[in-house]
Amino acid sequence: MLNNNISDATKYFIDLRRHMWVAGIELDLRRLIWQIAVTGKYISAKIHESNRKLAGLKNIYDEEQLALDRSSDRILRNQLEFSGFVREYASEELDEIIKIGKGDEKYYITADPLDGSSLVDTNLAIGTIIGIHNEPVPSQGRKSMVAALYITYGPLITMVYSAGKGTHEFVLNREGEYVLSEENITLKQRGSIYSIGGLKRDWTENHARYVGFLDDEGYKLRYSGGFVPDINQIMIKRGGVFTYPALKNSPNGKLRLVFELQPMAFLVEQAGGRATDGTRDILDITAETLDQRNPIYIGSPFEVEKAREFFAAGKD
């Protein structure tokens, strides 16, 4: 692991490949993470090129445009097909897991190629979420997940990864290199912001009491509607809680366990935080189906444990 006291001037020269090498991450995994990070550049170029146009629209040459989330999926899939490290690819954009390797590759990928695509027209940040497993998915997250990462497409393009040796942020610079910006991100025991998805009128009693507690404690609301930037905010501000809860009319919440929740739980745990559905650790939940949804409370230890307490003591 690199020196924590590394100066700002020095750390900007540490690129992603060097960081992973110094951290002692296994060669194939390093190469795979690198290839996915590179894909972020192509997806970001696609976002720019789309000029906010979404599915079903025609471009200036009168050609049908693919929705950005679907074209991001294609970019990712094409890149990984030739990587030599990926046996199977499961994407939120596809109905089935597809075999993209020869059959002897080590890794299984889960991808949410472009999360928050409905925010593209507003010019808010959006992102890509990746999980890397050494067993077929869907399976038990903690047991099979060896790495996770997300890429944010905002004013800056950043990449946050963990291969089980801490969580680190890199910024894409003008030369096209991912350079280290935050090493060993460590969440505080307790933060001061909350992000809450779902309509208030649909909240369960336990959840409403929990939010009431956060309000009384003076937490500030910070919600963009994009899972990646909302989690990234907690990472970079070093604390707080994001929740997309069980709702009266959708008891499993909205977000997908395999594609969204488990990769983020891995990254947050590696940063000293926690993630629960109210009773179980997100990474301990076995997915029954690829598109399974679960409620989530994720962030600093204090807020996540408080959520567990409210659910343990509560009625619903």
Q: Does 253 bind ligand AFP (CB under 6 A)?
A: no
Q: How many secondary structure helices (H) and strands (E) does the chain include?
A: 9, 13
Window contacting ligand AFP (CB under 6 A); options: 54-62, 102-110, 224-232, 300-308? 224-232
From CA 289, how far away is CA 128, in angstroms rounded?
21
Both tokens of residue 174? 């003008």
From CA 105, how far away is CA 164, in angstroms rounded?
20
Q: Does 225 bind ligand AFP (CB under 6 A)?
A: yes
Q: Cβ of residue 294: shortest distance to ligand AFP, in angstroms?
A: 13
Window contacting ligand AFP (CB under 6 A); options: 33-41, 166-174, 223-231, 304-312? 223-231
Q: Does 254 bind ligand AFP (CB under 6 A)?
A: yes
From CA 305, how far away is CA 290, in angstroms rounded?
27
From CA 93, how far away is CA 111, in angstroms rounded?
8
Q: Cβ of residue 242: shortest distance to ligand AFP, in angstroms?
A: 8
Name which position in 3, 51, 59, 118 contacts ligand AFP (CB under 6 A): 118
Q: Does 115 bind ligand AFP (CB under 6 A)?
A: yes
Which CB, 117 or 300, lies closer to ligand AFP? 117
User: Which strand ranges, in their side-by-side order, compose the sheet holding 220-221?
Assistant: 220-221, 193-196, 241-244, 296-299, 274-276
User: Is there a contact between 16 and 185 (Cβ–Cβ < 8 Å)?
Assistant: no
Name which position in 101, 166, 226, 253 contacts ligand AFP (CB under 6 A): 226
What is the sign, positive or negative, of the torsion defined by CA atoms of 95, 96, 97, 100?
A: negative
Any idea how long the chain is?
Answer: 316
Window contacting ligand AFP (CB under 6 A); options: 5-13, 25-33, 59-67, 111-119? 111-119
Dihedral class, residue 198 (left if φ above 0, else alpha if ψ from -120 to 50, else beta): left
Both tokens of residue 23? 């951290």
Q: Does 150 bind ligand AFP (CB under 6 A)?
A: no
Q: Cβ of residue 197: shortest distance to ligand AFP, in angstroms?
A: 4
Which CB, 22 or 57, lies closer to ligand AFP? 57
Q: Does 73 bind ligand AFP (CB under 6 A)?
A: no
Which CB, 225 or 314, lies closer to ligand AFP? 225
Place of tokens 């047991």: 143
From CA 47, how far away is CA 60, in angstroms rounded?
15
Residues 158 to 197 in contact with ligand AFP, rule: CB under 6 A: 197
Q: Does 101 bind ligand AFP (CB under 6 A)?
A: no
Binding-residue total with ligand AFP (CB under 6 A): 12
* Angle between helices 27-50 and 68-81 in degrees, nearest 10: 150
Binding site for ligand AFP (CB under 6 A): 115-119, 197, 225-227, 244, 254-255
